A and B are shown apart, each in its own frame.
Chain A
Amino acid sequence: MALLELDGIAKHFGAIEALKGVDMRLEGGEVVGLMGDNGAGKSTLVKIIAGNFPPSEGEIRMGGAVKNFHKPVDARAEGIEVVYQDLALCNNLTAAANVFLGRELKRRLGPFRILDYPAMYARAAELFKELKSETRPRDLVKQMSGGQRQAVAIARTRLTDARIVLMDEPTAAISVRQVAEVLDLIRRLKDQGIAVVLISHRMPDVFAVSDRVVVMRRGAKVADKPIARTSPEEVTGLITGAIRTA
């Protein structure tokens, strides 16, 4: 039984058909590269898996059981973590506050439960170090570079033991060195049996870490192949529509 199964997922935004009958399977420890042109529906698919909004049609199953996520926390409770394309950060809060947003660490102070700042700063610092990022936990996000912001969004997914990590363009704004770190992280996640969906427009990244590549075009899945049986040229053709299906 697959860790995650998507069955005929469709999504309409009014007249826009963002997704049309997408089927997909994801096993533990599998890295899937999700590619497609701008507007192909990649982010929409991720948001449906993450419980941002329900699909118009179709079914999500985990371990064979049908899941209806009403809110993002529902998906998170099932071990689904997301790096959103827009990063979903609060500019007015510190890096650590953003990492822990929605699941703050607390400690007892007499009858009260107060935010445990030292613990959150320490844990956030650890996570940034693991990512080899220059991000400091106490810095405000609004003062950060694009790469540091991305590190905050990625660090967030490492707080709990996730089963599935969805990354929507996690390497779009970061340096070569940090891209390598993120790809390394993906490999480590894979070794721990965590499934990763990597959305990226950067062909080398996808080919470097993925077991499988899924190509979307105009809301439909046009290819789903093991990486060994395809090539960047074929994937490019699939993305642009020069090749219809594979």
Chain B
Amino acid sequence: MLTQSTATPTVASHAAVEEVTHLRERSLRQKMLTSQSFWVTVAVLAIIIVMTLYQPAAFASADNFFNITRNFAFIGIMALGMTAVILTGGIDLSVGSIMGLVGVVCGLLLQAGHHWALAIGAALLAGAAAGAANGVLIAYVGLPSFVVTLGMLSIARSLAIVLSQNKIIYQLGPYGDAFDAIGGGDMLGVANPVWLLVVMALVFGYVFNFTAWGRYLFAIGGNENASRLTGVPVKRIKLEAYVVSGVTAAIASVMIVGWQGSAINALGTGYELRVIASTVIGGASLIGGEGGAFGAVMGAALIEVIRNSLLMAGVDSNWQGTFVGLFIVLAVLLQRIRQRPAE
């Protein structure tokens, strides 16, 4: 039999490595300071404070608060669903088009005199169906999410145009007023979409952090193969993530059609980029495995607060895209810096 001595030299070096990488448990404070959503919140608050001092009358008014929050609520709602997809390491480029398709479906049903509940049911179903089509192709057929959802972006938009016969749907029928009240109404001085965003953010936060389903989203994004080997139902979870994303796009669409009181097939054009930007600015990693509900909402808030501030400051609002773009790059840069092991 061999003695242990032959093996010792190779192993000794490993023992040293372990002592060098001396790691402490992460404290809550450390966690907060290294979380991107925390810094985004700080940025939002900073802009609000500066703008309040600079333009107390216009910026810090109840009206403006109402508008800002309502404006980012739609994007925020979609960003929650997008977070589920991005956590798995995928992407959903089709949310803006799904929004348009769902809006037209809602509009047509209401126009034909159907009950608002039926319109909403059909809307959610349409969103789920589009998401499921994405999910099946990505999870079960194994196509890249970028390509599949790019296809859906084109298909859903074209369906919206065909179904609406390229007309704006103004007449929302006998249940139109009730439908409009849902998306366009407000409670306690806060717009309904904002209430909905708050509720949904809490639900998503709970799901991401306290359910096995949420944990699996992170696991798949972290190491898909390891997830499969340890018994995570990878394909099913991925499919469900795209369905969730489709449904949140549908919910946002229902709210926005109600608010605007009409359905146009161009609804949501370009929203996918704002939604993705929100999640990334809020700390989601496009490689997957990182992100959260709170970050997604704060990312959406930051974009809207910047847009609003530029308007208030008298800057041409077309600069918004430049700022949003800079923030996306900055967000990714921040992620890089945070991921570099601290020396």
Could you list which residues of chain A lie within 8 angstroms of chain B, going by C-beta atoms?
A: 50, 52, 71-73, 76, 82, 84, 87-93, 97, 101-104, 106, 112-115, 134, 136, 138-140, 143-148, 156, 173-177, 179, 202-205, 207-208, 231-232
A22–B19 Cα distance when bound, in Å, is: 42
Please pick, from A50, A88, A90, A147, the residue contacting B218 in the complex, using a CB distance under 8 A: A90
The interface residues of chain A lying within 8 Å CB-to-CB of B218 are 90, 92-93
Contact of A102 with B230 at beta-carbon distance under 8 Å, contacts A176-B8, A207-B1 already known: yes
Q: Which residue of B lies closest to A104 (CB)?
A: B212
CB distance from A230 to the nearest CB of B (A): 10
Contact of A93 with B230 at beta-carbon distance under 8 Å, contacts A138-B26, A145-B21 already known: no
Q: For chains A and B in complex, what number of residue pairs have CB atoms within 8 angstroms?
A: 123
The interface residues of chain A lying within 8 Å CB-to-CB of B11 are 174-176, 179
Q: Which of B46-54, B102-110, B219-227, B310-318 contacts A (4 or more CB under 8 A)?
A: B219-227
A203–B225 Cα distance when bound, in Å, is: 30
The interface residues of chain A lying within 8 Å CB-to-CB of B15 are 175-177
Q: Assess whether A93 is in contact with B219, with CB atoms less than 8 Å apart.
A: yes
Q: Assess whether B18 is in contact with A88, with CB atoms less than 8 Å apart.
A: no
A174–B11 Cα distance when bound, in Å, is: 7
The interface residues of chain A lying within 8 Å CB-to-CB of B3 are 204
Contact of A139 with B1 at beta-carbon distance under 8 Å, contacts A73-B231, A173-B14 already known: no
Q: Assess whether B212 is in contact with A176, with CB atoms less than 8 Å apart.
A: no
Interface size counted on chain B using CB atoms at 8 A: 38
- Render B273-316 as a binary contact track against A, CB cut-off 8 A, 1 for contact: 00000000000000001100000000000000000000000000
The interface residues of chain B lying within 8 Å CB-to-CB of A203 are 2, 6-7
Please pick, from B14, B210, B231, the residue contacting A103 in the complex, using a CB distance under 8 A: B231
The interface residues of chain B lying within 8 Å CB-to-CB of A73 are 231
CB distance from B285 to the nearest CB of A (A): 8
A144–B12 Cα distance when bound, in Å, is: 18
CB distance from B238 to the nearest CB of A (A): 15
A90–B3 Cα distance when bound, in Å, is: 36
Contact of A90 with B14 at beta-carbon distance under 8 Å, contacts A115-B212, A204-B3, A204-B4 already known: no
The interface residues of chain B lying within 8 Å CB-to-CB of A143 are 21, 23, 341
Please pick, from A82, A88, A136, the residue contacting B25 in the complex, using a CB distance under 8 A: A136
Q: Assess whether A88 is in contact with B230, with CB atoms less than 8 Å apart.
A: yes
CB<8 Å pairs between A and B, sample of 20: A71-B228, A71-B231, A72-B229, A88-B229, A88-B230, A90-B222, A93-B222, A101-B215, A101-B226, A101-B227, A106-B212, A115-B210, A143-B23, A144-B21, A146-B17, A173-B14, A174-B11, A175-B11, A176-B12, A205-B7
